[in-house]
Amino acid sequence: EKNALEFDVLSDPGNTVARSYGVVFELTPEVAASYQQSFDLHGYNGDASNELPLAATYVIGTDGVITYAFLHPDYRNRAEPKEILEALEGM
Protein backbone atom coordinates (compact mmCIF):
# COMPACT_ATOMS: atom_id res chain seq x y z
CA GLU A 1 0.00 0.00 0.00
CA LYS A 2 2.72 2.41 1.01
CA ASN A 3 4.60 1.97 -2.28
CA ALA A 4 1.53 1.41 -4.50
CA LEU A 5 2.78 -2.00 -5.65
CA GLU A 6 0.60 -3.92 -8.07
CA PHE A 7 1.40 -7.29 -6.50
CA ASP A 8 1.30 -8.85 -3.05
CA VAL A 9 4.35 -8.80 -0.80
CA LEU A 10 4.43 -11.01 2.28
CA SER A 11 5.09 -9.58 5.72
CA ASP A 12 5.75 -12.45 8.12
CA PRO A 13 5.94 -11.34 11.76
CA GLY A 14 6.63 -14.37 13.92
CA ASN A 15 8.19 -16.20 10.94
CA THR A 16 5.10 -18.39 10.53
CA VAL A 17 5.35 -18.67 6.75
CA ALA A 18 9.16 -18.83 6.75
CA ARG A 19 8.97 -21.71 9.23
CA SER A 20 6.51 -23.56 6.98
CA TYR A 21 9.03 -23.21 4.12
CA GLY A 22 11.84 -24.49 6.35
CA VAL A 23 13.92 -21.31 6.09
CA VAL A 24 14.11 -20.30 9.76
CA PHE A 25 17.09 -20.87 12.03
CA GLU A 26 17.54 -20.47 15.78
CA LEU A 27 20.26 -18.15 17.01
CA THR A 28 22.57 -19.35 19.75
CA PRO A 29 21.83 -17.66 23.11
CA GLU A 30 25.05 -15.63 22.83
CA VAL A 31 24.28 -14.36 19.33
CA ALA A 32 20.65 -13.66 20.27
CA ALA A 33 21.79 -11.56 23.25
CA SER A 34 24.17 -9.62 21.03
CA TYR A 35 21.47 -9.02 18.43
CA GLN A 36 18.99 -7.96 21.10
CA GLN A 37 21.48 -5.33 22.29
CA SER A 38 22.18 -4.11 18.75
CA PHE A 39 18.57 -3.93 17.59
CA ASP A 40 15.19 -5.00 18.89
CA LEU A 41 15.29 -8.61 17.67
CA HIS A 42 12.01 -9.50 19.36
CA GLY A 43 10.30 -6.40 18.00
CA TYR A 44 11.65 -7.19 14.54
CA ASN A 45 10.35 -10.75 14.79
CA GLY A 46 7.00 -9.77 16.26
CA ASP A 47 7.47 -12.34 19.03
CA ALA A 48 9.95 -13.37 21.73
CA SER A 49 11.73 -15.98 19.60
CA ASN A 50 15.43 -15.95 18.86
CA GLU A 51 14.91 -17.00 15.26
CA LEU A 52 15.72 -15.38 11.95
CA PRO A 53 14.61 -16.33 8.46
CA LEU A 54 17.10 -16.99 5.71
CA ALA A 55 16.97 -14.47 2.88
CA ALA A 56 14.64 -16.24 0.46
CA THR A 57 12.73 -15.08 -2.59
CA TYR A 58 9.80 -16.96 -4.09
CA VAL A 59 7.56 -16.14 -7.03
CA ILE A 60 4.30 -18.00 -6.54
CA GLY A 61 1.54 -18.17 -9.13
CA THR A 62 -2.12 -17.67 -8.30
CA ASP A 63 -2.41 -21.47 -8.55
CA GLY A 64 0.02 -21.82 -5.63
CA VAL A 65 2.85 -23.21 -7.77
CA ILE A 66 6.32 -21.84 -7.04
CA THR A 67 7.75 -20.67 -10.35
CA TYR A 68 10.97 -19.19 -8.96
CA ALA A 69 12.91 -19.82 -5.77
CA PHE A 70 16.15 -18.38 -4.46
CA LEU A 71 17.70 -19.27 -1.13
CA HIS A 72 21.24 -18.78 0.07
CA PRO A 73 22.63 -19.32 3.58
CA ASP A 74 24.67 -16.10 3.34
CA TYR A 75 22.22 -13.24 3.88
CA ARG A 76 24.36 -10.99 1.70
CA ASN A 77 23.57 -13.09 -1.38
CA ARG A 78 20.16 -12.12 -2.70
CA ALA A 79 18.11 -12.94 -5.75
CA GLU A 80 18.99 -10.88 -8.78
CA PRO A 81 16.17 -8.47 -9.69
CA LYS A 82 16.56 -9.46 -13.36
CA GLU A 83 15.86 -13.12 -12.50
CA ILE A 84 12.80 -12.18 -10.46
CA LEU A 85 11.45 -10.00 -13.27
CA GLU A 86 12.01 -12.80 -15.79
CA ALA A 87 10.09 -15.19 -13.55
CA LEU A 88 7.25 -12.69 -13.22
CA GLU A 89 7.16 -12.02 -16.95
CA GLY A 90 7.02 -15.75 -17.63
CA MET A 91 3.84 -16.20 -15.62
Say if residue 42 is in the same domain as residue 6.
yes
Say if residue 61 is in the same domain as residue 89.
yes
Say if residue 61 is in the same domain as residue 49.
no
Say if residue 42 is in the same domain as residue 9.
yes
Residue range(s) defining the domain that contains residue 78:
55-91
Say if residue 37 is in the same domain as residue 65.
no
d(Cα 87, Cα 91) in Å, to the nearest integer?
A: 7
Task: Evaluate if pTM is beyond 0.75.
Answer: no
pLDDT tens track for 35-88: 888 888 888 888 899 999 998 999 999 999 999 999 998 989 999 999 999 999
Task: Report pLDDT for 3.
Answer: 77
d(Cα 35, Cα 52) in Å, to the nearest integer?
A: 11
Task: Report pLDDT for 41.
Answer: 87
Residues near 35 by beta carbon (within 8 Å), at least 6 away in sequence: 27, 41, 50
How far, in whole angstroms, is CA 88 from its chain's centroid?
18
Task: Report pLDDT for 1.
Answer: 62
